[in-house]
């Protein structure tokens, strides 16, 4: 098995990310640093380490849904910050899929399945994500229409989005892309400021009544439906 495939099946990262990790010299096989692609490993005989920590093939793929609270960063390790990993007590290591900024709340998926992580993170897969947005002052229908039709941002126009007004200060937005702090930037473009941002859905997975700081395993139906959607979107 190619080393980058091993890392993916071990839940460390996607194959593409595995290539980057290998080239950076962070991987050792049988105590020898590997810094080039093409190396083959035998899962039954070889010892593989990343950053000095042994990694093994998954015995079971685990994916969970979390309600990320405000004040936590979406990272495995960030000095001086509270991370979402502090909210989890699992016998296996899982990794956040995508990001929610520190001041945002809502649905976050975490998994040890490298392939699923890649499919949920990569922009070539058009997963819908739904958010509830609250702004500081009443927002006009014209401003909502501008955001729905697309705005210039970071050198290109944002993809069209679906928006639905909830109240004078609140609306729901559905995106099929996720650029850095995209919604906050879009709202700023139309002259407003976000005061609250909550993600309520990723593809077919909904936050439901999950309380802030809590998590749950995906149901078998959710996992099956998610896999089916990924295949259709691809």
**Given this model, what pLDDT does residue 123 score?**
65
- Read off the pTM: 0.77
CA–CA separation, 117 vs 97, rounded Å?
Answer: 6
Q: How confident is the model at residue 233 (pLDDT cuts 50, 70, 90)?
A: low
pLDDT digits (tens, 9 = 90+) for 123-148: 666 789 999 999 999 999 999 999 99
Q: How confident is the model at residue 104 (pLDDT cuts 50, 70, 90)?
A: very high
Please give the average per-residue pLDDT across 107-122, as a whole number: 84
Query: First and final CA of the chain: distance in angstroms?
Result: 25
**Given this model, what pLDDT does residue 140 score?**
97
168 versus 93: the higher-pLDDT residue is: 168
All domains of the chain in start order, with CATH: 3-55 (3.10.290.10), 63-124+204-218+227-233 (3.30.70.580), 129-202 (3.30.70.1560)
- Point out the least confidently predicted range of 45-49, 66-70, 167-171: 45-49
In eight-state DSSP terms, residue 169 is S
**Given this model, what pLDDT does residue 60 score?**
77
CB 84 within 8 A of CB 98: no
- Does the structure show a pLDDT above 90 at 18? no
**Given this model, what pLDDT does residue 114 score?**
76
Pair of tokens at residue 47: 């010892």
**Given this model, what pLDDT does residue 57 score?**
78
CB 52 within 8 A of CB 35: no
The C-alpha angle 107, 111, 117, rounded to 5 degrees, equals: 90
CB 57 within 8 A of CB 78: no
Residue 44 designated active-site? no
Q: How confident is the model at residue 13 (pLDDT cuts 50, 70, 90)?
A: confident
Which residue among the candidates 101, 103, 113, 225 is catalytic per the annotation?
A: 101
């Amino acid at each position: 098995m190619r080393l980058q495939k091993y890392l993916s099946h071990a839940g460390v990262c996607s194959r593409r990310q595995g290539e980057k990790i290998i080239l950076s010299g962070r991987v050792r096989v049988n105590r020898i640093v590997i810094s080039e692609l093409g190396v083959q490993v035998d899962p039954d005989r070889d010892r593989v380490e990343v950053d000095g920590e042994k990694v093994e093939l998954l015995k079971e793929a685990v994916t969970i849904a979390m309600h990320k609270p405000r004040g936590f960063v979406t990272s495995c390790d960030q000095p001086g910050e509270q991370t979402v990993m502090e909210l989890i007590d699992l016998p296996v290591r899982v990794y956040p899929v995508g990001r929610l900024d520190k001041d945002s709340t809502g649905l976050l998926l975490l998994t040890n399945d490298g392939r699923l992580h890649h499919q949920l993170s990569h922009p070539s897969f058009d997963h819908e994500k739904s958010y509830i947005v609250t702004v500081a002052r009443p927002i006009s229908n014209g401003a909502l229409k501008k955001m729905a039709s697309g705005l210039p941002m970071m050198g290109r126009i944002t993809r069209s989005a679906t928006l639905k007004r909830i109240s004078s200060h609140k609306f729901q937005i559905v995106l099929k892309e996720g650029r850095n702090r995209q919604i906050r930037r879009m709202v700023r473009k139309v002259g407003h400021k976000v005061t609250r941002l909550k993600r309520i859905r990723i593809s077919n997975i909904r936050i439901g009544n999950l309380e802030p700081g809590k998590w749950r395993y995906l149901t078998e139906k959710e996992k099956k439906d998610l896999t089916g959607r990924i295949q259709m979107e691809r």
